[in-house]
Structure 1
């Protein structure tokens, strides 16, 4: 029988842990010494080199002062009390933010919890000439009034659409139609803010067949950079796999936008039509999705749709060809999973493409943003809407073949 000296074993294990901690500290310090990262303040550091240049992260330390974890920044803003500037009625956005189960009907509370309770002003852009500061007559900066943080560069005709002004029209919809405030938050330091509401009735695809459920949302996004608009977008969401099924359907729009100009406020009043337009969209959406669900598709036809979306040139490099093959393999894998559930149909093909775009396609995070939050933000902002719409239109041709 072998007898183990627990004291010796414990000392050996502790020694290994200390050696690992010293190595981790030494490696971290070496990155600082090489100029790859720098201390910003407190326990927060900034990446100075590589593809993630500009990203920030926080270093957690244990009671002994040793590195215990490295926490990437999430890309969402923080409120004055240090909490995440995000309101949600359920644990979305990876459980971050202020969660009120079931939501609230009070827009002031939504704005406060989501960190959207700030105004934006414009100040003259200045430049230095011959030792003096001069104002640029036709260029201004948008600035947060609560923090003074710069948000963008705009022209003389620009007029900020304040968050409350832009979103308060939804309050009437909440009271009249029993919609739910789903989420609200601040992205990239206030450059973009959003509110999403959930409409009361779910959408059923092929009720007498696969009986698939889609939850209807309306997302409203306000951009304060000068490079974007105030916009409303219908956002069908499929809870089975968390796909955002947003694409154009026949005779129904998916998005309405208002530019930041003097007439913007009156135009926003027209956004009251958004709910009626949304119902119109979702009726058309359900009809077209049901048609896809009742259309069988051959694998060869499915691959041709993918080739149309991502064409491969004959003179493509080996790297491009490898990436193309990897994409096809990834979409095929999702397609097989979908066919097991809903059959080998055009509907399964569309789910495979949207699933790939939402969850698998390479997504390079922006500065101070994790990949998960980058994906959530891309889905909210509709980064892949055009590709999804093109796939939908191409697959709809098969229903009439």
Structure 2
């Protein structure tokens, strides 16, 4: 589900919905049973349920049964006995340390956010037989969290740890402001993932055909300590305050940049700044193009012409499986066009949103390796690494040509 609410409303609406979920305890059990019967809440075992409701913020998320209530999981690290979150604005869960005026002091945020720990590499040891000699596995290391001594993941010999403090300093260099006020910072999955978020002064406004989307951009840096993903920086309308909003920040990012955990990762600020387009000119151009798309009427036939350019129909005699896949993709995109055009009008802007939503979250995937069987994680990784950026760029350019008719 792609949300295009104004940024201020987006974060406020999410917080309001979350608090309402926590406060509305009356008839909770009946509501749970009704949702299970309706198929919008699917039991997955061990008192956990997956949300199956495209109209909910929580679609695809897993909730946990606690004291007779099914509650959303914030996903924040609690392994030290406190919740690892610093925020300038209270989150929906009302957890963590809130400093309303914010702070530019990195040490304060590291402490308040519960991410002041460092991570080191240690050799992987093994035994061939019980009580046999301990051997070292060549070129493999365990990343270890220093404060809890917890093993976070297994990485290769070229992997360099990107310390939590490094994230802050990288973002300071990225925006060329060492007095930046930090919006939020914290840890997820027992410290395996860490995030830092700051707010940009520019506002992206898409004000055409009655849409009036006003998007306040944030820069979020998301780093993993378990070797599962690149170190990422995204420009996004979401302030991260839990596992859900981390996913939203990645899903709805305007631009993204990633770097592998290698020796020169922290020296690539200029590259990141170019890729992310961190300038007023970039945001002005982005808003102007999106406004142009929003002012351009588009028929369903023209939408299908764009799809034909992106995904040509199979040739005659193509395997049945190929034809079926093409038909399913066309039908899914048609449904996404309907949903977006109902809200945004029959415009090129609605078409772009439909295509983006499909490439990021609807098209079939076949995860391999460590992501096998983890579709949501595989989709998030594909979005982070920009796997579909080429087709989204082609769609954007194709739709812009239609604005000059």
Q: TM-score, normalised by structure 2?
A: 0.63
Does structure 1 conserve the Cα–Cα contact (< 8 Å) formed by 2:258 and 2:385?
A: no
* 1:398 matched residue in structure 2: 402
Does structure 2 conserve the Cα–Cα contact (< 8 Å) formed by 1:166 and 1:268?
A: no
* 2:334 matched residue in structure 1: 328
What is the CA RMSD across the aligned residues, in angstroms? 4.8
Question: In the aligned structure 1, how far is the partner of 2:188 from the partner of 2:309?
Answer: 34
Q: Decide whether aligned partners of structure 1 residues 260 and 305 sit closer, same or farther in structure 2, where only a CA change above 3 A counts.
A: same
Larger radius of gyration: 1
Output one character per residue of 1:298-325: Cα deviation in whole Å (capped at 9) or x when no partner.
2211234356667776724998656753
Of residues 101-110 and 320-329 in structure 1, the stretch that sits farther from structure 2 once superposed is 320-329
Does structure 2 conserve the Cα–Cα contact (< 8 Å) formed by 1:179 and 1:200?
A: no
Question: In the aligned structure 1, how far is the partner of 2:90 from the partner of 2:387?
Answer: 24
* 1:345 matched residue in structure 2: 347
Structure 2 counterpart SS, 1:168 = helix
Q: Is residue 266 of structure 2 the alignment partner of residue 260 of structure 1?
A: no
Output one character per residue of 1:64-108: Cα deviation in whole Å (capped at 9) or x when no partner.
xxxx2244644332252242x333333567766544445433323
Q: Decide whether aligned partners of structure 1 residues 302 and 311 sit closer, same or farther in structure 2, where only a CA change above 3 A counts.
A: same
Structure 2 counterpart SS, 1:277 = coil
Structure 2 counterpart SS, 1:201 = coil
Task: Quote how far apart the aligned CAs of 1:46 are.
Answer: 11
Question: In the aligned structure 1, how far is the partner of 2:96 from the partner of 2:382?
Answer: 18
Q: Is residue 117 of structure 2 the alignment partner of residue 146 of structure 1?
A: no
Does structure 2 conserve the Cα–Cα contact (< 8 Å) formed by 1:292 and 1:395?
A: yes
Does structure 2 conserve the Cα–Cα contact (< 8 Å) formed by 1:357 and 1:384?
A: no
Q: TM-score, normalised by structure 1?
A: 0.64
Structure 1 counterpart SS, 2:184 = strand
Of residues 139-148 and 177-186 in structure 1, the stretch that sits farther from structure 2 once superposed is 177-186
Task: Quote how far apart the aligned CAs of 1:292 are.
Answer: 1.6
Task: Quote how far apart the aligned CAs of 1:134 are.
Answer: 0.2
Does structure 2 conserve the Cα–Cα contact (< 8 Å) formed by 1:334 and 1:356?
A: no
* 1:31 matched residue in structure 2: none
Say how many residue pairs are matched: 333
Matches within 5 A, 1:143-292: 143-171=144-172, 176=177, 180-205=181-206, 211-235=212-236, 246=253, 254-267=255-268, 277-292=278-293
Question: In the aligned structure 1, how far is the partner of 2:95 from the partner of 2:386?
Answer: 22
Task: Quote how far apart the aligned CAs of 1:195 are.
Answer: 1.5
* 2:103 matched residue in structure 1: 104
Task: Quote how far apart the aligned CAs of 1:211 are.
Answer: 4.9
Matches within 5 A, 1:115-130: 115-129=114-128
Does structure 2 conserve the Cα–Cα contact (< 8 Å) formed by 1:235 and 1:246?
A: yes
Task: Quote how far apart the aligned CAs of 1:161 are.
Answer: 1.4
Structure 2 counterpart SS, 1:127 = strand
Question: In the aligned structure 1, how far is the partner of 2:343 from the partner of 2:189?
Answer: 36
Task: Quote how far apart the aligned CAs of 1:164 are.
Answer: 0.4
Question: In the aligned structure 2, how far is the partner of 1:363 from the partner of 1:86?
Answer: 33
Of residues 147-156 and 167-176 in structure 1, the stretch that sits farther from structure 2 once superposed is 167-176
Structure 1 counterpart SS, 2:190 = helix
* 1:60 matched residue in structure 2: 66
Q: Which segments of 5 or more consecutive residues in structure 1 lack a partner in the other structure?
A: 1-16, 25-35, 39-43, 48-54, 62-67, 248-253
Question: In the aligned structure 1, how far is the partner of 2:153 from the partner of 2:63?
Answer: 24
Structure 2 counterpart SS, 1:283 = helix
Does structure 2 conserve the Cα–Cα contact (< 8 Å) formed by 1:105 and 1:174?
A: no
Structure 1 counterpart SS, 2:302 = helix
Structure 1 counterpart SS, 2:217 = strand
